[in-house]
Amino acid sequence: MKKRIAVLPGDGVGKEVARGAIEVLQAVGERFGHQFYFSYGRIGGVSIDQDGTPLPDETIELCKDSDAVLLGAVGGPKWDSLPGHLRPEKGLLKIRKELNLYANLRPTSYYPSLADSSPLRKEIIEGVDILMVRELCGGLYFGKPSERRQQGDKETVVDTLYYEKTEMERVIRLAFELAEKRSKKVTSVDKANVLESSRMWRETAEEVAKDFPEVALEHMLVDNAAMQMIKNPRQFDVVVTENMFGDILSDEASVLTGSLGMLPSASISTDGPYLYEPIHGSAPDIEGKNIANPIAMILSAAMMLRISFGLEQEAEAVENAVKEVLEGGGRTSDIAAKGKKNVSTTEMVEEIKATILDNEAILNIMGAYA
């Protein structure tokens, strides 16, 4: 198989983890006989510095011409004082809008070997397997107006929460379709006791549910969901929610696995290409130290292999290699095991690559005796 992949490393540790994911994909190509062609584009702070904008048109064109997009992370203190429209994060919001990426899928699974890295007790997180489906193109992050105002000597500010009902409907429908293939339960999270937008969200979820009689729908207020996620996370399977609630809840869910550095994501559009990125940011506090955990980015690449390219066996090879390395004790500092030496970003990538390629040797031997 031949595929063109646009790589947008971005800023901070985004560059370090994107490099790792590319090396892992090259190992997958070598093992399974695929050709992946990587083309690089700028986004975020690096692009503000070079192009004067957080997302140049040539990056948008590159993404639209590719079969899938891999993104590292954007942002950093260097650009924090720039006006809102010039912030690196605007590049991220713009690429989501340009590619029409309306749903962000964020799986959170329990790794037995990382039980000690989570701040929660093992009996609470054991067996957790949550798929968070976050609306990505609407809500507070995109609504206009979004501005500060000076009215006489009164300083005010406004952000707008705007949704079209069809935007709610398509992401909720996707959540139900995914739930049909999992444990047939959807938890829809909103703030219907306060927000009109949430009352429309709840109504829409009820309407969509009628088309999926085998899937159970429950509603949960976002404040309760935040609490339940920590108290009893096993009750959740597919969780669907609007943009900002999903942003916050999925970071909260990351502590279940031990670190932000473990959680991948896939952003789905109506007509492709899809975009894959870790849920963490550019982590300026650890930039350049070669200690960032590359697993979230590598697992995002595995999601790309499965969802965009239909390469299930290849995706599993990556996921199994990650599990094997963790079980063997390979840990970056964010998921460090007590009393054990940590590995660097590049060492973690090397171990995962070697495991993927070693598996081939084992498969060849098994094949010879089959």
Closer Cβ to ligand NAD, 248 or 307, answer by number: 248
The active-site residue, picked from 51, 129, 159, 251, is 251
Residues numbered 91 to 120 that lie near ligand NAD (CB under 6 A) are 92
Active site residue 162: no
Instruction: Rule CB under 6 A: say whether 258 interacts with ligand NAD.
Output: no
Q: At what angle do helices 222-231 and 243-257 cross, to 10 degrees?
A: 10
* Contact between 37 and 97 (Cβ < 8 Å): no
Q: Among 286, 298, 305, 348, which residue sits at the site for ligand NAD (rule: CB under 6 A)? A: 286
Least distance in angstroms from the C-beta of 75 to ligand NAD:
2
Which secondary-structure segment (H or E) carries 295?
helix 295-307
The active-site residue, picked from 102, 110, 141, 274, is 141
Active site residue 247: yes
DSSP reduced 3-state for 264? strand
Compute the distance between CA of residue 74 and CA of residue 89 in angstroms, rounded to an integer.
Answer: 6
Q: Which residue has the tokens 């079980």?
A: 327
Phi–psi pair at 312, nearest 5 degrees: -65, -45
Instruction: Rule CB under 6 A: say whether 76 interacts with ligand NAD.
Output: yes
Q: Which stretch binds ligand NAD (CB under 6 A): 52-60, 143-151, 212-220, 259-267?
A: 259-267
Cβ count near 41 (within 10 Å):
22
Instruction: Rule CB under 6 A: say whether 283 interacts with ligand NAD.
Output: yes
Instruction: Rule CB under 6 A: say whether 334 interacts with ligand NAD.
Output: yes
Closer Cβ to ligand NAD, 300 or 355, answer by number: 300
Q: Which stretch binds ligand NAD (CB under 6 A): 52-60, 173-181, 230-238, 256-264?
A: 256-264
Closer Cβ to ligand NAD, 25 or 92, answer by number: 92
Instruction: Rule CB under 6 A: say whether 266 interacts with ligand NAD.
Output: no
CA distances (Å), origin 224, targets 109, 123, 227, 246: 21, 21, 5, 14
Active site residue 237: no
Phi–psi pair at 247, nearest 5 degrees: -60, -45
The active-site residue, picked from 49, 57, 116, 223, is 223
Closer Cβ to ligand NAD, 66 or 282, answer by number: 282
The torsion region of residue 239 among left (phi > 0), alpha (psi -120 to 50) and beta comes to beta
Instruction: Rule CB under 6 A: say whether 9 interacts with ligand NAD.
Output: no
Instruction: Rule CB under 6 A: say whether 285 interacts with ligand NAD.
Output: yes
- Nearest-5° angle of CA 83, CA 84, CA 89? 125
Please return the burial class of 54, using the count of CB atoms within 10 Å of its CB with bins 0-12, 13-18 and 19+. buried
Compute the distance between CA of residue 9 and CA of residue 333 in angstroms, rounded to an integer.
Answer: 22
DSSP reduced 3-state for 337? coil
The active-site residue, picked from 3, 90, 191, 353, is 191
Instruction: Rule CB under 6 A: say whether 281 interacts with ligand NAD.
Output: yes
Compute the distance between CA of residue 47 and CA of residue 102 in angstroms, rounded to an integer.
Answer: 24
- Please tell me the count of residues contacting ligand NAD according to CB under 6 A: 23
Q: Among 7, 130, 131, 292, which residue sits at the site for ligand NAD (rule: CB under 6 A)? A: 292
Compute the distance between CA of residue 281 and CA of residue 89 in angstroms, rounded to an integer.
Answer: 10
Q: Among 5, 7, 8, 13, which residue sits at the site for ligand NAD (rule: CB under 6 A)? A: 13
Closer Cβ to ligand NAD, 80 or 147, answer by number: 80
Cα 333 from chain centre = 21
Catalytic residue annotation? 141, 191, 223, 247, 251
The residues binding ligand NAD (CB under 6 A) are 13, 17, 73-76, 89, 92, 259-261, 277, 280-286, 292-293, 296, 334
